[in-house]
Structure 1
Amino acid sequence: MEFLVKSARPETLKTATLVVAVGEDRQLGSLAQAVDAASGGAIGAALKRGDLAGKLGQSLLLHGLSGLKAERVLLVGRGKETLSDRQFRKMAASAFGTLKGLGGGDAALALFDVPVKNRDVYGVARLLLESLADGVYQFDQYKSKKAEPYALKKITLVTAKTEQAEVERAATHARAITAGMALTRDLGNLPPNVCTPTYLGEQAQAMAKAHDNLTVEVHDDKKLRELGMGSFLAVGRGSEEPPRLVVMNYQGGGKGEQPYVLVGKGITFDSGGISIKPGLSMDEMKYDMCGAASVLGTFRAVLEMRLPINLVGLLACAENMPSGHATRPGDIVTTMSGQTVEILNTDAEGRLVLCDTLTYAERFKPRAVIDIATLTGACLVALGSHTSGLLGNDDTLIRQLLDAGVAADDRAWQLPLFDEYQEQLDSPFADIANIGGPKAGTITAACFLSRFAKQFQWAHLDVAGTAWVSGGKEKGATGRPVPLLTQYLLDRLQQA
């Protein structure tokens, strides 16, 4: 789908379908009023007949209105009040749901007279384009019969000349972010017999071949042993698929400028290992690499925008399987940092690959480190599927990420990281246990990681509830938290 921006009066546009918003009580914004006047009051007449109440998400298609160059006009209800982000997304989804079923090859959206809480024209345009792109996404590469292509190929955002530059900027950012989200979703939706640790490394290398300012190294199990990553290696011992640490280094900023580091959990399939999971819905454990996929997706967005920053991505990739070689509950391993870990549950494996990768991140002398992981089912219980969990050791970094989540409509919520929780990880045999018991599972997992993040500003995003949608026909990766991460990086440039 092609997304364009055009400065024009909507009533003068030649298009297959022109979309304008209508509020309850026959409320017309300035753009809808102009279209109504040009059509000789056709919209107002339809409203008086009661054809559309203007409630949020309602729609009405009008054909052959005189005085307009548009072949048809789609009225979409926006309700009574200033809209929240969620309400605006519902309105956009309603409009797109009608548009993609029509025969026209293009559409023009004149929706910038719809008020959205706490959003300027840039923010509204970003929200609109990212909502539309979400509706366009399909994953059918393993189906014999592909989905029928939409007749709709092009959508134009209609804006005033005074706002065109901001809408164009929003469109540039939205295109890059949605491309990153699509890559993240594709990787997450791939079957685990295709998307292995080796495959993720190959995808990063392919990205580097296309961009001169990106370099990629893929460290194999031999290199991991040389680095002393005993915890990382313990996770992949039961699998025929070898583990990989993928190191991505984007140099868009000044030489010697400290980079931001993104660390992604990349467990390409998580059976639980010897502490095996229940069989029900185990197929969804292919999504346990969505943290690593979101790092790749964020790199895609950053590369497309050519952001002037230095950025390092570390993908901690392994497959967690049971076998005669697999790590056992009760085993003790030595991490790259020298700390020893008693593995009480092999299904708490994400923190085992991440802890060594966080230690590896020290060599880059980072400005900040953010790890992204589908780490704990406890986070899904606590926050559901709408909000990512956020913990860390630096209040400024936490606030920056919370603000970025609000701006990107990809929200996170801070959970505490008090010292009292650390005591749940005490082990009689090693420096630390890899689980802290049934209470506060998300927090104790972050407590574990914090032991390996003392040399830098660090934040942890638990996306176990937000990285994919479970069950039914809607099952699939969401592409989150690519919008949050990309917005965080954009904000750092604006505040530099």
Structure 2
Amino acid sequence: MSLSFQLVLTAPASLETPLLALVLPADATLTDALAPLDAPLHGALARTLARRDFRGGRDETVLLVGGDAGVQRLLLVGRGSTPLTRTTARRAAAIAARQAAKLGMGTMHLWLPDADAAAIEGLVVGAAAGSWSYPDLQTPPPEKDRRARLTQVGVIGADLPGLQGALNAGVAIAEGQAIAKRLGQMPGNYCTPQTFVDLGQEIAQRHGMTLTVLGRAEMAAAQMGSFLCVAQGTSQEPRLVALEHRGGPADQQPIVLIGKGLCFDTGGISIKPAPEMEWMKFDMMGAAGVMGAMEAIGRLQLPVNVVGIIGSTTNMPSGEAVKPGDVVRASNGKTIEIINTDAEGRLVLADLLVYAKQFNPAVAIDAATLTGAIVIGLGHHAVGVFGPDRAVVDEVLAAGSAAGEPGWPLPMWEEYREQIKSDVADIKNTGGRAAGSITAALFLQEFVDGYPWVHLDVAGTAYSQSDLGWIPKGPTGTPVGTFVEFVRARAGR
């Protein structure tokens, strides 16, 4: 992430800045705190508020232009009438950062009057989200048409305990989300299974983590037939990558985070329709979320043990590809009838869930862009949350809410299990269209043994095919926030 942040204790009216973004609630008035900003604007701020040219609605913006010194531009950003939270602060800051980018501002200051530590953290995460981009593969425009990229943000706060820590925490989360988003935005010929190995090595070295990498031979020795059948059709080496953050006592059971990493998903022999197949480069956002979370956890130096496990390959049709009707055996001995080769993510996760058992997890949470059915059921606003233990599910839901990645629980009733019974094997990999997300979760549960577990279906939330206003189309950063907030809560932070 090329954006740097600084906590600024200077009075806003005393700043020398090309742009001050002022975040205000609905129906704001000119308070004593705001009045010093109005003098150099010759009353423009007071008139704007009095005339209700700016009403403070969510995502509303108005730009007031000042002189050549001091606050040269004042951007009013509305956060709406909802209570101030880390999430509302995040969204407003993202809007501000997007406007700064349009203006070509290399530097910006953010001010949310009376911001507490949670709001400061939200401002940092939001500004990073709003300014994020992936220009790596684009030819720069001519020099005369270029605009400066936002590289510095000063977050204005009071001289209160905890605000610097909140800013640092926001930076850690933003860095993790930037990693996840960059992995997601990379085309499938740039983001390969080896990319996760290289990144894992960087994160391990940066934060003193232990790294384990398995390739095709090692997975075959471990009898991971479920994972490996997905990789049959590709010449690329499949990879299982495990990162261990040992911040807690040696005998503490770790939290295990697990991610599906299909760098590209054609559907295999059950090939997907051609229109919009290019979006399947995002089928690795579960794994990207794990890698981003491990980066943030390392930066936060959380005093808890965490293991991040990802399984990465591509799902390709070829003469060697697994085909409908084949039966494969997972590493726990269960046999699986392949009904649809496009239901491949659960096949990768099956062996990852078995692999996780060796760490004796306190809890395991997996995330995957697993089913189109979750998009039909919940749209693009909620993560599908599944698990047999309601107390742990509630923990995950609380973490998602705190992170601004809300989830919704769905049932895992025994009646649905009938749909994944096989005539020739122990289980089949899809139960058809009805309740597709639920039967996928029940399939995964077959490979969970002896530890609490929650499954997150992020197919509708990990990326967006349209501009969301506060962030552009593409990767959203979900589920990095949920993972980090869950670990922070378990660590008492």
Identity of aligned residues (%): 39
Verify the 8 A CA contact 2:21 2:74 in the aligned structure 1.
Answer: yes
Verify the 8 A CA contact 2:41 2:66 in the aligned structure 1.
Answer: no
TM superposition shift of 1:298: 0.6
Distance 1:18 1:439 in 2: 51
Pick one of 406, 409, 415 that aligns with 2:404: 409
Verify the 8 A CA contact 1:341 1:432 in the aligned structure 2.
Answer: yes
Distance 1:354 1:52 in 2: 49
SS of 2:117's equivalent?
Answer: helix
Kindly provide the amino acid, as one letter, of the partner of residue 175 in structure 1: V
Find the counterpart in structure 1 of residue 194 from structure 2.
Answer: 198
Q: Provide Cα deviations, 1:231-268, integer angstroms capped at 9, x if missing partner.
A: 11111111111222112122222222211111111111
Distance 1:46 1:437 in 2: 57
SS of 2:212's equivalent?
Answer: strand
Kindly provide the amino acid, as one letter, of the partner of residue 66 in structure 2: H
Find the counterpart in structure 2 of residue 74 from structure 1.
Answer: 75
Find the counterpart in structure 2 of residue 117 from structure 1.
Answer: none
Alignment of 1:470-485 (within 5 A): 470=465, 474-485=472-483
Q: Is residue 68 of structure 2 the alignment partner of residue 59 of structure 1?
A: no
The 1:78–1:192 alpha-carbon spacing in structure 2 relative to 1, beyond 3 Å, is: closer
Pick one of 346, 352, 361 that aligns with 1:351: 346
TM-score scaled to structure 1, two decimals?
0.90
Pick one of 434, 437, 448 that aligns with 2:429: 434
Find the counterpart in structure 2 of residue 245 from structure 1.
Answer: 240
Q: Is residue 327 of structure 2 the alignment partner of residue 332 of structure 1?
A: yes
Distance 2:380 2:86 in 1: 17
Kindly provide the amino acid, as one letter, of the partner of residue 242 in structure 1: E
Distance 1:152 1:194 in 2: 26
Distance 1:133 1:175 in 2: 8
Q: Provide Cα deviations, 1:10-51, integer angstroms capped at 9, x if missing partner.
A: 233333333334566562355324534787755324444665
Kindly provide the amino acid, as one letter, of the partner of residue 206 in structure 2: A
TM superposition shift of 1:77: 4.1
Q: Is residue 414 of structure 2 the alignment partner of residue 419 of structure 1?
A: yes
The 1:78–1:427 alpha-carbon spacing in structure 2 relative to 1, beyond 3 Å, is: closer
Find the counterpart in structure 2 of residue 110 from structure 1.
Answer: 111
Distance 2:466 2:485 in 1: 29
TM superposition shift of 1:82: 4.3
TM superposition shift of 1:363: 0.6
Kindly provide the amino acid, as one letter, of the partner of residue 197 in structure 1: P
SS of 2:351's equivalent?
Answer: helix
Verify the 8 A CA contact 1:328 1:346 in the aligned structure 2.
Answer: yes
Alignment of 1:121-136 (within 5 A): 121-136=116-131
Alignment of 1:275-294 (within 5 A): 275-294=270-289
- Specify every segment of 5 or more residues in structure 2 that has no aligned partner in the other structure, as ranges: none
Find the counterpart in structure 2 of residue 388 from structure 1.
Answer: 383
Distance 2:219 2:407 in 1: 32
Q: Is residue 295 of structure 2 the alignment partner of residue 297 of structure 1?
A: no
Verify the 8 A CA contact 1:20 1:32 in the aligned structure 2.
Answer: no
TM superposition shift of 1:312: 1.0
Find the counterpart in structure 2 of residue 19 from structure 1.
Answer: 21
Find the counterpart in structure 1 of residue 337 from structure 2.
Answer: 342
Distance 1:406 1:51 in 2: 33
Find the counterpart in structure 1 of residue 213 from structure 2.
Answer: 218
> How many residues end up aligned between the 2 structures?
484
Q: Provide Cα deviations, 1:378-428, integer angstroms capped at 9, x if missing partner.
A: 011111112111101222211111111111111111111111111111111
Could you tell which deviates more after superposition, 455-464 or 282-291? 282-291
Could you tell which deviates more after superposition, 85-94 or 473-482? 85-94
Distance 1:143 1:205 in 2: 27
